[in-house]
A and B are shown apart, each in its own frame.
Chain A
Amino acid sequence: MKFYKSFKHALNMVLHSKIRSWLTILGIVIGVAAVVAITSLGQSLQQDINSQLGALGGDLVTIRAGASRASGFFGGGGREGQVGGITSSASKEEIVLDKTDVQALRGVEDIKLIETEISGRADVYYVAEKGSTTITGVDQKVWFQITTSKIKDGRMLGPADTNVIVVGGRFASSFFTTQVGINQMVTIGSRLFRIVGILDDESSSIYMPIDSAYETLEDKTKGVYDSIIIKVKNEDELDTAVEHINEKLRISRHVTAAKPDFSLTSNKERQQQREQITSSMTSFLTAIAAVALLVGAVGIANTMFTSVLEKTKEIGIMKAIGARNADILAIFLLNAALIGFIGGVLGIIFGILLSGFLPSLMGGSAGPLSRLSGGVISIQTVFIALFISIMIGVISGVVPAYQASRLRPVDALRFE
């Protein structure tokens, strides 16, 4: 029998199969869904890590006033939330970062650049609209060297700039109902600023020279910084650099290692934490996938054995009218492969949905995975998943199909 004919008969068999046998593909569906979700997450995680290492820089260390919040990585709402927290601690006027700290840091050899920032929220007016967003005052002499953001349009802040701002990509495109472009004026607080650059990112933040920010943001004391950003000379020796920075600041701020009044965070550290969480999640999902696929394989084998039993008479008929063993084998193997294929397709669909939901399920909106773009499924993943499911179908179908092909025509015909 020609291949496409065998395929046609196998398909026919699948289409006429009972609902009961459809249930057994559930294992394959779950298994493949898990596989797809894992691969998709793995891929978007890799993208995320790459973009962070490349863009956000593994060589940056951020210093903030106040003791380290152990759960800062998990809790809080990212940058804005943390800044809010610092603002309140700064207002206590006891624990702050200022020129003394910068001075102290200048003595650390591992440091390449030091940048100081303040940030807070402010109202922004454009034409007749009003909105509130994060304003970051940056040391414009250093910022353009240290920031991981790239300019999409216009230019960075220059050393001599005043009353100009650089805005995030989303601020330009969709913060107001109309797009905001280069050289347009927005009012922040009570002062007018000109946009000189638009960043290539998804933020709605505004960056301005730190001196302008002191005047624009309320509750800010000149000379007090919300954060000090440090770029180390050698990314590979980040850990030693962090240690040296810690030592230096402890001495200059007269605190002990047990009770620090400042905190250091590095991007690398965040990435490591994120990788750790993801890898434990990945192994969890892998375990689910493996078990589900195994259950799925057993399910298909079971369906196939039942199907061979139910079709014994038909096998006898086919043999009586000229079917070779090979024909029967082909039909049943293709049937199993098709069951696997269908399970795979359903699994991929569920997997895509799952990978879309998983990041928010695992960490909430601010969780470690919230920034991962779920639902990114590559063609490769789809093919791998389909291949796995078809192979599982075939492997679990081999024994039943062989059994079917070896049935003796008389015995099969007598079967009722």
Chain B
Amino acid sequence: MAKAIKKPAQRQVLLHLEDVWKVYQMGEVEVAALKGVTVEIQKGDFVAIIGASGSGKSTMMNLIGCLDMPSKGKIFLKSQDISQLTESNLASLRGITIGFIFQQYNLIPTMTAFENVLLPLEFQEMDDKAAHERARYILDLVGLSDKTFHLPSQLSGGQQQRVSIARSLVSDPEIILADEPTGALDSVTGREILETLHRLWKEEGKTIIMVTHDLNLAQYAHTTIELKDGKIINISQRKEK
């Protein structure tokens, strides 16, 4: 177990969590989901967050993705303290810098694959023509150019997840956050999705942070962070191939 993080080629801290706590108030009771997490994630890393159910993985992802704010401690994204950002700045950050992939795909059911992929660009007020081109290009990239005008309900789980990957990629974010992206898929499809993510990491140089239960899938990652009861108990790095 190598606790020290091996320096990648060009070391640059993209994300820095500093003594992060997340305490949920459940009526009278306080539940601490994260208890003083401190970690640095390098640009271009492929990180897997593993741990038992309830260990705080999703909580950590939500904080990294600026969907939630820590109860205590600081999160720096590209050296910026996210607690200092306005609502609108956080929205831009989520729209431009971060791409989300969810376990349940979370596509908008009334919109076609194309419209779903287009949506993040619409929030960024990208010019229509450029946005359409971009969405089409990305759908092609995930191998769905023939399913452009299908509704989510007309697609298989794996296809829906690929639409969701396309959506997370469309605004060319630096970080892709995936909370159990294969959780709802069979192992073969899950592996395919992981291959896609891995290829993106290799070819596009994205920073990928993924939560998974499946230790086999965690093998794809470069860095593995293990959580237990809201604390990091282990960080390991695979030797470069």
Q: Footprint of B on A, CB under 8 Å?
A: 1-2, 5, 12-13, 16, 313-314, 316-327, 408-410, 413
Contacts and interface: CB of A to CB of B under 8 A. Distances in A.
Contact of A322 (B62, B68, B95): B95
Given A408-B68, A410-B68, A320 B100 contact: yes
Contacts of A410: 62, 67-68
A143 to B, nearest CB: 73
18 contacts: A1-B123, A1-B125, A12-B110, A12-B111, A13-B110, A314-B108, A317-B106, A317-B108, A318-B123, A319-B91, A321-B94, A322-B91, A322-B124, A322-B171, A324-B87, A324-B123, A409-B94, A413-B67
Contacts of B156: none
Contacts of A323: 91, 95, 123
B119 interface: yes
B192 to A, nearest CB: 23
A409 to B, nearest CB: 4
Contacts of B67: 319-320, 409-410, 413
B1 to A, nearest CB: 32
Interface residues of B, number: 27
Can you list the 5 inter-chain pairs with the closest CB atoms, starting with the nearest?
A: A322-B95, A322-B123, A409-B67, A324-B91, A410-B68
B23 to A, nearest CB: 14
A321 B100 CA distance: 7
A314 B119 CA distance: 12
Contacts of A2: 122, 125
Nearest to A325: B87
A322 B110 contact: no
A324 B88 contact: yes
Nearest to A327: B123
B43 interface: no
A347 to B, nearest CB: 27
A322 B95 CA distance: 4
A321 B120 contact: yes
A320 B65 contact: yes
B90 to A, nearest CB: 9
Interface in B116-140: 119-120, 122-125
Contacts of A327: 91, 123
B50 interface: no
Contacts of A12: 110-111
Which of A5, A313, A316, A322 has the largest number of chain B CB atoms within 10 A?
A322
A326 B68 CA distance: 18
Given A5-B122, A410-B67, 19 more contacts: A1-B123, A12-B111, A16-B110, A317-B107, A318-B123, A319-B94, A320-B65, A321-B168, A322-B91, A322-B92, A322-B94, A322-B95, A322-B120, A322-B123, A323-B95, A324-B87, A324-B88, A324-B92, A325-B88
Interface in B178-208: none
Nearest to A2: B125
Interface in B151-184: 167-168, 171
B49 to A, nearest CB: 17
Interface string B91-107: 11011100010100011
A313 B92 CA distance: 19
Contacts of A16: 110
Contacts of B171: 322
A263 B91 CA distance: 82
Among A1, A5, A12, A321, chain B packs the most CB atoms within 10 A around the CB of A321
A413 B106 contact: yes
Nearest to B118: A5
Nearest to A409: B67
Nearest to A311: B108
Interface core residue of A12, A16, A316, A324 (most chain B CB under 10 Å): A324
A321 B68 contact: no
A282 to B, nearest CB: 44
Contacts of A413: 67, 102, 106
A319 B95 CA distance: 8
B224 to A, nearest CB: 25
A325 B167 CA distance: 20
Tell which of B120, B123, B125, B171 has the most Cβ of chain A within 10 Å. Answer: B123
Contacts of B119: 318, 321
Contacts of A326: 88
Nearest to B105: A317
Contacts of B110: 12-13, 16
Given A408-B68, A409-B67, A320 B123 contact: no
Contacts of A324: 87-88, 91-92, 123
Nearest to A323: B123
B114 to A, nearest CB: 14
